[in-house]
Amino acid sequence: AELTDKKKWDIACNIKFYKEIIDRAIENKSLCAFWFHPSFETTFLEKILPDLFSYIDSKKDEIFITTATVYTEWLNKNNKNGRKIN
């Protein structure tokens, strides 16, 4: 999911939206990848990301938190069929 300020929503709704994505990924044991463009709104940086990162940190025992590069390396190391992922 792209991390972006949904301008029609208030800050609490934005935070709830992203927390629900994280919770669904945990519940379904699926990948949850967040990305953002560095030019996003200051409001998102100051008001939404801190709560979101705090929530992710509170779930760190339930999820694998990493970068795309490290995740790809992990997949290649643990890949049973021998095909490399770029």
Contact 6, 17 (CB under 8 A): yes
What SS3 state is found at 58? helix
The more confident residue out of 34 and 26 is 26
**Could you tell me if 86 and 76 are in contact, meaning their C-beta atoms sit under 8 angstroms apart?**
no
Structure tokens at 20: 């629900």
Please write the tens of the pLDDT for every residue from 37-77.
777 778 888 988 899 999 999 999 999 889 889 988 988 88
Q: For residue 3, which of 21, 26, 23, 29 has the smallest C-alpha distance?
A: 21
